[in-house]
A and B are shown apart, each in its own frame.
Chain A
Amino acid sequence: AQSVTQLDSQVPVFEEAPVELRCNYSSSVSVYLFWYVQYPNQGLQLLLKYLSGSTLVKGINGFEAEFNKSQTSFHLRKPSVHISDTAEYFCAVSENNAGNMLTFGGGTRLMVKP
Chain B
Amino acid sequence: IAGITQAPTSQILAAGRRMTLRCTQDMRHNAMYWYRQDLGLGLRLIHYSNTAGTTGKGEVPDGYSVSRANTDDFPLTLASAVPSQTSVYFCASSAAGEPYNEQFFGPGTRLTVL
Contact = CB atoms under 8 A, between A and B. Distances in A.
Interface of A: 4, 6, 9, 32, 41-46, 49, 51, 90, 94-96, 98-107
B99 A44 contact: no
Contacts of B58: 101
Contact of A100 (B50, B106, B107): B50
A100 B98 CA distance: 5
B75 interface: no
A102 B97 CA distance: 11
Contacts of A49: 100, 102
B74 interface: no
Chain B interface size, under 10 / 10 to 19 / 20 to 34 / 35 or more: 20 to 34
A32 B94 CA distance: 15
Contact of B40 (A41, A95, A98, A106): A106
Given A100-B48, A101-B45, A32 B105 contact: no
- Max chain A C-beta neighbours (<10 A), residue from B42, B45, B48, B99: B99
A104 B48 contact: no
Interface of B: 4, 31, 33, 35, 40-45, 48, 50, 58-59, 90, 92, 94, 97-100, 102-103, 105-108
B47 to A, nearest CB: 12
A104 B36 CA distance: 11
Given A99-B97, A104-B42, 19 more contacts: A4-B42, A32-B100, A42-B108, A43-B92, A43-B106, A43-B108, A44-B43, A44-B105, A51-B100, A90-B43, A94-B99, A100-B31, A100-B48, A101-B48, A101-B99, A104-B35, A105-B42, A106-B41, A107-B42
A100 B42 CA distance: 17
Given A44-B90, A101-B58, A107 B40 contact: yes
Contacts of A106: 40-42
